[in-house]
Amino acid sequence: MGKILLTLLILTLITLTLNLPFGYLRSTAKKFSVKWFLYIHIPIPFVILMRMWLGFGYTAIPVLLAGAMAGQLLGGYLNFNKAK
């Protein structure tokens, strides 16, 4: 059980890291534009592939979604502070 949780934690951190640059770019795009939409959705297939490759089912999606949202928000926050 511990190995599964550790793998899920590592996958969540990878998801967060993968979303950082997209959140950084998303914060400069006009809200609801095509770029904005793409910056949010481009990392999703990679996260899905990693989840399936590691053998996690649908129960891991809420945790990975939280990691993806945190990465998007943190990336946007980093760009917002740089713009000041």
Do residues 6 and 54 touch, judged by C-beta distance below 8 A? no
Separation between Cα atoms, residue 43 and residue 7, nearest integer Å? 19
Task: Enter the tokens of residue 36.
Answer: 């904005």
Tell me if the pTM is above 0.75. Answer: yes
With a cut of 90, say whether residue 1 has pLDDT above it: no
Mean pLDDT of the chain: 94
Mean pLDDT score, 35-61: 96
Q: Enumerate the domain spans of the chain.
A: 2-83
SS3 30: coil
The pLDDT score that the predictor gives to residue 82 is: 67
